[in-house]
Structure 1
Amino acid sequence: MIAFVKHAIILVWTLFVSYNVLLQSLMIAAVPNVLGWLAISFTKDSSFLYIGRLLGGFGVGVISYVVPVYIAEVSPENMRGTLGSVNQLSVTIGTLLAYLFGLFVNWRILAILGSLPCIILIPGLFFIPESPRWLAKMGLTQEFEASLQILRGFDTDISLEVDEIKSSVESTDEKTTVGIAELMKKRCWFPLMVGIGLLMLRQLSGINGVFFYSTTIFESAGISSSNVATVGLGAIQVLATGVATYLTDKAGRRLLLIVSSCAMTMSLIFVAVVFYIESSASEDSQLYSIMGILSVVGLVAFVITFSLGMGSVPWLIMSEILPANIKGLSGSMATLANWTTTWLITLTANLLLDWSTGGTFTIYAAVAACSAVFVILFVPETKGRTLEEIQSSF
Structure 2
Amino acid sequence: MENPQQNSEEGLMPKSSPPQPNPAIVANEAGQGSGFPESDKSSATPVVVLSTLVAICGSFAYGCTIGYSSPAESGMRADLRLSVTQYSVFGSVLTVGGIIGSLVNGKIADLVGRRRTMWLSELFCIVGWLAVAFSKHAWSLYLGRFSLGIGLVLMAYVIPVYIAEITPKNIRGAFTAAFQFLLTSGLSVMYLVGTVVSWRALALIAAVPCLLQIIGLFFIPESPRWLAKVGREKELETTLQRLRGKNADISMESAHIREYTQTFEMDSKVGIFYLFQRKYAYPLVVGVGLSAMQPLLGATAIQYYASYIFSEADFSTKIGSISLAIIQLPVIGASVLLTDRFGRRPLLLASTIVMCLSLAIIATAFGLQGTHRWNEVTSVLVYVGIMGFSVGYSIGLSGLPGVVMAEVYDYVI
The answer to whether the superposition gives a TM-score over 0.5 is yes
Which digits, 9 at most, give the CA deviation of each residue in 1:121-179, with x for residues without a partner? 11201112211211121222232233223333334433333332222122233597665
Correspondence for 1:233: 324
The letter for the 1-side match of 2:104 is: V
Identity of matched residues, %? 31
Is 2:210 aligned against 1:123?
no
1:171 aligns with 2:263: yes
Distance 1:62 1:277, change over 3 A: closer
Q: More displaced, 301-310 or 14-23?
A: 301-310
Matched, 1:310 2:397: yes
Of residues 112, 119, 125 in structure 2, which corresponds to 1:27?
119
Partner of 2:142: 50
Q: Does the 8 A contact of 1:38 with 1:52 survive in 2?
A: yes
**1:196-345 equivalence runs, <5 A:** 196-219=288-311, 223=315, 225-245=316-336, 250-251=340-341, 255=343, 257-275=344-362, 278=365, 279-280=367-368, 289=376, 293=380, 296-315=383-402, 321=406
Equivalent-residue separation in structure 1 for 2:190 and 2:285 (angstroms): 33
Partner of 1:346 in structure 2? Answer: none
**Contact conserved, 2:352 with 2:392, CA < 8 A, in 1?**
no
Q: Does residue 391 in structure 1 map to residue 411 in structure 2? A: yes
Which position in structure 2 is the counterpart of 1:154?
A: 246
Q: Quick one: which of 153, 156, 168 aligns to 1:76?
A: 168
1:242–1:150 distance in 2 versus 1, CA, 3 Å? farther
Q: Distance in 1 between matches of 2:256 and 2:283?
A: 21
Counterpart of 2:397, as a letter, is M
Letter in 1 for 2:328: Q
- Taking the aligned partners of 2:360 and 2:276, their CA distance within structure 1 comes to 43
State the shift of 1:251 in Å.
4.4
Q: In the TM superposition, what whole-angstrom CA distance separates every residue of 1:79-117 from its partner, at most 9, and x where no partner exists?
A: 222212211111111111111221111111111112111
Q: What secondary structure sits across from 1:78 in the alignment? A: helix
- In the alignment, structure 1 segments of 5+ residues that lack a partner are 322-378, 383-389
Whole-Å separation in 1 of the counterparts to 2:108 and 2:281: 20
Tell me the alpha carbon deviations over residues 309-354 of structure 1, each in whole angstroms, 9 at most, x when there is no partner. 3223434566xx4xxxxxxxxxxxxxxxxxxxxxxxxxxxxxxxxx
Asked whether the equivalents of residues 274 and 291 of structure 1 are also in contact (C-alpha less than 8 Å), the reply is: no
Q: Does 1:93 align with 2:93?
A: no
For the residues of structure 2 that align with 1:194 and 1:142, how far apart are their CA atoms?
41
Identify the residue that residue 331 of structure 1 maps to in structure 2: none
Aligned to 2:231: 139
The gaps in structure 2 that reach 5 residues or longer are 1-88
Structure 1 length as normaliser, TM-score?
Answer: 0.69
Which structure's relative contact order is higher, taking Cα pairs within 8 Å and 6+ residues apart? 2
Aligned counterparts of 1:191 and 1:15: Cα–Cα separation in 2: 25
CA contact 2:313–2:382 (8 Å) conserved in 1: yes
How many residues of Structure 1 are paired with residues of Structure 2 in the alignment?
A: 320
Change (3 A) 1:106 1:192: same
After superposition, give the CA deviation of every residue in 1:8-55 in whole Å (9 maximum; x if it has no partner). Answer: 244134322222211111112211211111111111211211111111
Q: Kindly provide the amino acid, as one letter, of the partner of residue 401 in structure 2.
A: P
Distance in 2 of aligned mates of 1:65 and 1:43: 29
Cα distance in 2 for partners of 1:186, 1:136 equals 34
Q: How has the CA–CA distance of structure 1 residues 146 and 204 changed in structure 2, closer, same or farther, with 3 Å as cutoff? A: farther
